[in-house]
Chain A
């Protein structure tokens, strides 16, 4: 069974940092490009970042560029999102996506 399990979410103050992780099982991420997608409470889906299978190509949404960093460790079958300088508007459920979707991890940015 394919599983993508995100972790690392939580409550953080504006300006703070979090590192999200996504561990894959039943699915080898090394052959696939991966994405992070987020969903603010009661809102639609917003694409956040993309990384190619070899990490050679990386894209970010303008809303997170310069603050978030996507990375992957194919040996650990894992995807990451380092989030710095967090803002209230970054509050959302963050999903790891590679054809399959994880269950999401909630990031709340509030003072």
Chain B
């Protein structure tokens, strides 16, 4: 199975900050990586697929990059509605494993 790790596990930030979350795969997954956002008590929401393609309707302050084993989710200017937990997921080979999540909270 491909193991996904994320760093940091949590971070504190302020509105307007640039935030970067890293996701690492235990083996090469090319660009078969997605990012999701989840707010407390809510269903996750798809943000990015194919490592860097923005889902329809997702604000352009979100961006993804990377290929192979190392990936990054960047929020260019954190907004109040962005405080949430973020998960990465590989879909190169099953089981389609998720990372453990990164919680972004208020500084």
- Contact residue among A47, A61, A103 (Cβ-Cβ distance under 8 Å from B43): A103
Bound Cα distance from A66 to B45, whole angstroms: 29
How would you classify the secondary structure of chain A's contact residues: helix, strand, loop or mixed?
Answer: strand
Q: How far is the CB of B50 from chain A (nearest CB, A)?
A: 12
Bound Cα distance from A62 to B46, whole angstroms: 25
Bound Cα distance from A74 to B99, whole angstroms: 31
Determine if A44 is an interface residue (Cβ-Cβ < 8 Å). Answer: yes
Q: How far is the CB of B10 from chain A (nearest CB, A)?
A: 13
B87 & A44 in contact (Cβ 8 Å cutoff): yes
Q: Which residue of B lies closest to A100 (CB)?
A: B46
Bound Cα distance from A95 to B36, whole angstroms: 13
A99 & B55 in contact (Cβ 8 Å cutoff): yes
Bound Cα distance from A99 to B34, whole angstroms: 10
Q: How far is the CB of B56 from chain A (nearest CB, A)?
A: 9
What size tier do the contact residues of chain B reach? Answer: 10 to 19
A59 & B94 in contact (Cβ 8 Å cutoff): yes
A59 & B44 in contact (Cβ 8 Å cutoff): no
Determine if B71 is an interface residue (Cβ-Cβ < 8 Å). Answer: no
| Contacting residues, chain A, for B46 (C-beta < 8 A) | 99-101
Interface residues of B in 49-107 (CB under 8 A from A): 49, 55, 87, 89, 94-101
Q: How far is the CB of B2 from chain A (nearest CB, A)?
A: 11
Determine if A35 is an interface residue (Cβ-Cβ < 8 Å). Answer: yes
Q: A45-B36, A45-B87, A104-B43 are in contact. Are A50 and B96 (CB under 8 A)?
A: yes
Interface residues of A in 39-81 (CB under 8 A from B): 44-47, 50, 59, 61-62
A47 & B97 in contact (Cβ 8 Å cutoff): yes
| Contacting residues, chain B, for A103 (C-beta < 8 A) | 43
Q: Which residue of B lies closest to A93 (CB)?
A: B43
Would you mind naming 26 contact pairs between A and B with Cβ atoms under 8 Å apart? A35-B96, A44-B98, A44-B99, A45-B38, A45-B44, A45-B87, A45-B101, A46-B98, A47-B94, A47-B95, A47-B96, A47-B97, A50-B94, A50-B96, A59-B94, A61-B95, A62-B95, A95-B43, A99-B49, A99-B55, A100-B46, A101-B36, A101-B43, A101-B44, A101-B46, A103-B43
